[in-house]
């Protein structure tokens, strides 16, 4: 450095402050320009995008509003409530339902036992619907003499009662009956109950 | 040469100015007073400009004073910046003043040892004051030469052999400028002798001889002729010959200050013996360049400022537009939540209703069981029924035994009973389709039953075939096996009474 500096021409050091000032101004201008181009200029686009997104959101809201007017909710209300009537909405309800039919089975000389086999889930947009599969076992009572009907006729009668006049949806998916002619030894009925916990 | 030049003759205090336009002297002015040093230079220059009416910029000075000192130095064989650096270091060693120095140099013929340079050392402040004096009145000091530089130009015009060493001496206002060189323009040595041959010819002659001998010592070249310049120079040739010991000649030109000035203007600006250093010489260009760069920087800065203004204005505009939309955004987000919730609720309802109310499974098992009990043939007894649903189809499996009501043949009762059951089921509203049933004909064919039973069974089959009723396993009965099969053996005794039937329904 000591060797090099004295060799610098006098013209280099002449007007040095002015030159440095110019270089400083020039570099400062370039730095500011760089900052403006890389940092500030993109903000214009960003703000424009944000504004456009708000307008797009406005359009989207209007579109969804038009597509799903409030009136539709009212119009579908009754159908939805009717469908809601088909499903069980709490555990007590299911228990009550089974208790009732156990009593009814007893009246026709049948012993009824139910067992939960599976609990399938049907997803909807808001909340799932549970599809509970039960296996209902029916057996003739051993000491039952008040009814003159044969066991299979009693079973038929009970199945008829089970499958008709239901105010809830009840899907029969299986029937297994075993016996000897009119002497029914055992019947197993597979049923599915619809259960929805988020009922209004 | 420049179009307009103010040429100044400033030798040992005498100050004379010539305004020259296209090589012609337009006006001459001489300061009535001696201009001793640079402190008076400004005033003399101002007067000369006003007196000559000079309206140019360039100033050329022919100078000789005690501040400029010649030295002969030997230099290594280097050029360019290295040479400049070496000369500057050497000049710093030789200088006799405290101020920073400026220097110029002229290459000489090689000495006995190495290359030689005739350098002229002078204080830089002295040069800068002269340049500043010019700058103050909007002039530019572009050239300043010693008389030796002009004298060098005279070497070529001398009528001597080209290789002959000659000495030139010029009377310069009480001093004597000396240059020793050759006709080809190459020089050996130069100096200023502060003595006038008109006043002290012996001293001047002795000094000239000393210099000639110095050259002989350093270069091995001996000047054998002396040319003297100045007013009435021819009168002094004989006098000086006595002291130098060889012929002295007196050229008639140049002799006056005007002559010398005119000759000095023939020298180019960018020679190395110009006392005005390159940085000062190029100052106008440097200033112009600086102004242009400065202007350019300002233009760039202004453009960038304009750009920044444009960007900031747009940023502010877009920002305010965005800020203006913020309340709308909040409102829309709230509304969107509501409508999305409504949409989800609606979709949920649609799905719910679809799942719960569509594809309701009818209690087919109960219906079928009831129907089966009604249509079951009298000769058959139902032992087991299994109905289950898979992939939308109901699969039915029926197991039973045959119990003829009267003394019918078992096989016949089973055959007819099973066929009757199949027909009744397939004609039922359940769209029942048999997929399999007991192959009683096989067992009948191979079972070790009595001849009468076998005959009855065969006759029953024959009756069915006569009636055009085909039966499963008909093909097998045509090729009865001679021996019992192991499976048949296992169900021996029961095969005649047990049956099964399978089918599907939608």
Tell me the pLDDT band of B464, cut-offs 50, 70 and 90: very low
The reported pLDDT for the residue numbered A11 is 61
Judge if A35 and A105 occupy the same domain: no
- Say whether B319 and A29 touch across the interface (CB within 8 A): no
Residues B223-245 have pLDDT tens digits of 999 999 988 888 989 999 988 88
For residue A155, is it within any domain?
A: yes
ipTM of this complex prediction, to 2 decimal places: 0.79
SS3 call for A123: coil
In a mutagenesis test of the A interface, which of B283, B288, B308, B356 is the best target, namely the one with the most A β-carbons within 10 Å? B356
**CA dihedral for B405, B406, B407, B412, sign (positive or negative):** negative
How close, in Å, is residue B214 to chain A by CA atoms? 32
For residue A79, is it within any domain?
A: no
Closest-approach residue (CA) in chain A for B316: A44
The Cβ-side half-sphere exposure at A35, using a 13 Å CA radius, reads: 9
In a mutagenesis test of the B interface, which of A9, A47, A171 is the best target, namely the one with the most B β-carbons within 10 Å? A47
For B230-300, where are the E strands, in sequence order?
Answer: 248-249
For residue A54, give the nearest of B328, B344, B389 by CB distance. B328
Give the span between the Cα atoms of B447 and B496, in whole angstroms. Answer: 9
Residues B89-113 have pLDDT tens digits of 999 999 999 999 999 999 999 999 8
Closest-approach residue (CA) in chain B for A9: B279
Cβ-based contacts of B297 with chain A (< 8 Å): 22, 25-26, 29
User: In the numeric block, which tokens belong to residue B40?
Assistant: 């008076």
Whether the pLDDT of residue A182 is over 80: the answer is no
The reported pLDDT for the residue numbered B488 is 38
For residue A166, is it within any domain?
A: yes
Inter-chain contacts counted by CB atoms under 8 A, chains A and B: 216
Largest CA distance in chain B: 188
Q: Which domain holds residue A44?
A: 12-67
Tell me the pLDDT band of A5, cut-offs 50, 70 and 90: low
Cβ-based contacts of B329 with chain A (< 8 Å): 54, 57
The reported pLDDT for the residue numbered B479 is 35
Judge if A191 and A99 occupy the same domain: yes
In a mutagenesis test of the B interface, which of A175, A184, A190 is the best target, namely the one with the most B β-carbons within 10 Å? A175
Closest-approach residue (CA) in chain A for B363: A172
Judge if A125 and A34 occupy the same domain: no
Is the distance from CB of B368 to CB of A189 less than 8 angstroms? no
CATH number at residue A154: 3.30.70.60
For residue A175, give the nearest of B279, B321, B365 by CB distance. B365
Taking Cα atoms as reference points, which of B172, B155, B169, B154 lies closest to residue B9? B172
**For domain B4-281, which architecture applies?**
2-Layer Sandwich (3.30)
Give the span between the Cα atoms of B376 and B418, in whole angstroms. Answer: 9
Judge if A162 and A105 occupy the same domain: yes
Cβ-based contacts of A11 with chain B (< 8 Å): 278-279, 282, 286
Judge if A114 and A174 occupy the same domain: yes
Is the distance from CB of B404 to CB of B413 less than 8 angstroms? yes
How close, in Å, is residue B486 to chain A by CA atoms? 28
Residues A110-129 have pLDDT tens digits of 889 999 999 998 888 888 88
Whether the pLDDT of residue B494 is over 80: the answer is no
Residues B355-380 have pLDDT tens digits of 888 878 888 888 888 888 889 888 88
For residue A33, give the nearest of B287, B304, B389 by CB distance. B304
Judge if A50 and A135 occupy the same domain: no
The Cβ-side half-sphere exposure at B41, using a 13 Å CA radius, reads: 23
Residues B27-79 have pLDDT tens digits of 999 999 999 888 889 999 999 999 999 999 999 999 998 889 999 999 999 98
Whether the pLDDT of residue B396 is over 90: the answer is yes
- Say whether B318 and A48 touch across the interface (CB within 8 A): yes
Give the span between the Cα atoms of B322 and A60, in whole angstroms. Answer: 18
For residue A61, is it within any domain?
A: yes
Cβ-based contacts of B282 with chain A (< 8 Å): 11
For residue A80, is it within any domain?
A: no
Tell me the pLDDT band of B126, cut-offs 50, 70 and 90: very high
Q: Average pLDDT of B193-200?
A: 91
CA B248 to the chain's CA centroid:
71
User: In the numeric block, which tokens belong to residue A160?
Assistant: 């008829």
The reported pLDDT for the residue numbered B447 is 43
The reported pLDDT for the residue numbered A49 is 93
Is the distance from CB of A162 to CB of A170 less than 8 angstroms? yes
The reported pLDDT for the residue numbered A43 is 92
Cβ-based contacts of B380 with chain A (< 8 Å): none
Residues A125-180 have pLDDT tens digits of 888 889 999 999 988 887 766 657 777 778 878 888 887 767 888 888 899 988 87
Which helix (H) or strand (E) segment holds residue B421: the answer is: helix B410-426
| Residue ranges of domains in chain B | 4-281, 364-505
Closest-approach residue (CA) in chain A for B324: A51
For residue A97, is it within any domain?
A: yes
- Say whether B304 and A22 touch across the interface (CB within 8 A): no
Number of domains in chain A: 2
For residue A74, is it within any domain?
A: no
Judge if A93 and A189 occupy the same domain: yes
Give the span between the Cα atoms of B234 and B237, in whole angstroms. Answer: 6
For residue A76, is it within any domain?
A: no
Whether the pLDDT of residue B456 is over 50: the answer is no
The reported pLDDT for the residue numbered B440 is 61
Judge if A58 and A91 occupy the same domain: no
Give the span between the Cα atoms of B195 and B210, in whole angstroms. Answer: 14
Is the full-model pTM beyond 0.90? Answer: no
């Amino acid at each position: 450095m000591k060797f090099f500096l004295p060799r610098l021409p006098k013209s280099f050091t002449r007007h040095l402050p002015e030159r440095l000032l110019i270089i400083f101004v020039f570099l400062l201008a370039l730095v500011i320009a760089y900052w403006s181009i890389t940092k500030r200029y993109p903000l214009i686009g960003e703000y424009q995008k944000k504004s456009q997104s708000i307008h797009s959101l406005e359009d989207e809201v209007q579109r969804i509003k038009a597509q799903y007017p409030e009136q539709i909710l009212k119009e579908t209300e009754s159908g939805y409530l009717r469908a809601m009537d088909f499903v069980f909405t709490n555990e007590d309800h299911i228990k009550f339902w089974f208790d009732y039919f156990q009593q009814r089975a007893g009246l026709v000389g049948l012993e009824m036992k139910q067992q939960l086999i599976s609990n399938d889930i049907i997803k909807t947009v808001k909340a799932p619907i549970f599809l509970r599969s039960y296996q209902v076992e029916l057996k003739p009572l051993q000491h039952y003499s008040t009814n003159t009907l044969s066991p299979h006729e009693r079973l038929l009668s009970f199945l008829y009662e089970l499958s008709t006049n239901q105010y809830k949806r009840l899907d029969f998916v299986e029937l297994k009956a075993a016996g000897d002619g009119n002497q029914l030894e055992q019947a197993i009925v597979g049923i599915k109950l619809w259960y929805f916990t988020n009922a209004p | 040469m420049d179009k307009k030049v103010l040429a100044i003759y400033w030798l040992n205090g005498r100050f004379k100015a010539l305004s020259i336009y296209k090589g012609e002297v337009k006006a001459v002015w001489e300061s009535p007073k001696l201009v001793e040093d640079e402190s008076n230079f400004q005033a003399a220059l101002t007067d000369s400009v006003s007196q000559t009416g000079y309206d140019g910029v360039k100033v050329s000075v022919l100078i000789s004073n005690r501040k400029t000192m010649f030295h002969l130095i030997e230099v290594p064989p280097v050029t360019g910046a290295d040479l400049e650096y070496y000369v500057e270091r050497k000049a710093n060693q030789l200088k006799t003043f405290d101020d920073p120095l400026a220097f110029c140099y002229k290459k000489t013929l090689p000495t006995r040892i190495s290359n030689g340079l005739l350098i002229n050392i002078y204080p830089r402040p002295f040069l800068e004051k002269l340049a500043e004096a010019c700058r103050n009145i909007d002039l530019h000091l572009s050239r300043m030469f010693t008389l030796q530089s002009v004298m060098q130009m005279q070497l070529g015009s001398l009528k001597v052999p080209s290789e002959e060493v000659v000495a030139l001496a010029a009377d310069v206002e009480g001093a004597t400028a000396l240059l020793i060189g050759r006709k080809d323009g190459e020089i050996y040595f130069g100096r200023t002798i502060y003595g006038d041959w008109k006043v002290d010819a012996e001293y001047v002659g002795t000094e000239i001889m000393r210099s000639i001998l110095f050259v002989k010592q350093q270069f091995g070249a001996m000047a054998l002729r002396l040319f003297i310049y100045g007013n009435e120079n021819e009168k002094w040739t004989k006098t000086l010959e006595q002291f130098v010991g060889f012929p002295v000649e007196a050229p008639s030109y140049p002799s006056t200050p005007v002559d010398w000035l005119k000759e000095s203007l023939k020298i180019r600006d960018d020679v190395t013996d110009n006392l005005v250093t390159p940085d000062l010489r190029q100052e106008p260009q440097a200033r112009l360049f600086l102004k242009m760069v400065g202007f350019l920087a300002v233009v760039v800065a202004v453009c960038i400022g304009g750009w920044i203004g444009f960007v900031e204005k747009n940023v502010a505009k877009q920002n305010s537009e965005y800020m203006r939309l913020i309340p709308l955004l909040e409102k829309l987000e709230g509304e969107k939540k509501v409508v999305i919730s409504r949409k989800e609720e609606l979709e949920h309802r649609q799905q719910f209703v679809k799942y719960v109310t569509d594809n309701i499974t009818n209690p087919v098992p109960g219906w079928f069981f009831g129907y089966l009990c009604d249509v079951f043939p009298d000769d058959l007894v139902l032992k087991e029924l299994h109905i289950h649903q898979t992939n939308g189809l109901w699969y039915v499996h029926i197991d039973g035994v045959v119990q003829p009501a009267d003394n019918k043949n078992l096989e016949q009762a089973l055959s007819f009973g099973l066929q009757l059951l199949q027909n009744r089921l397939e004609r039922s509203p359940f769209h029942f389709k048999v997929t399999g049933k007991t192959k009683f004909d096989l067992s009948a064919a191979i079972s070790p039953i009595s001849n009468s039973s076998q005959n009855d069974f065969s006759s029953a089959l024959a009756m069915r075939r006569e009636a055009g009723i085909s039966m499963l396993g008909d093909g097998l009965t045509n090729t009865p096996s001679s021996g019992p099969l192991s499976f048949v053996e296992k169900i021996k005794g029961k095969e005649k009474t047990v049956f099964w039937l399978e089918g599907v329904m939608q």
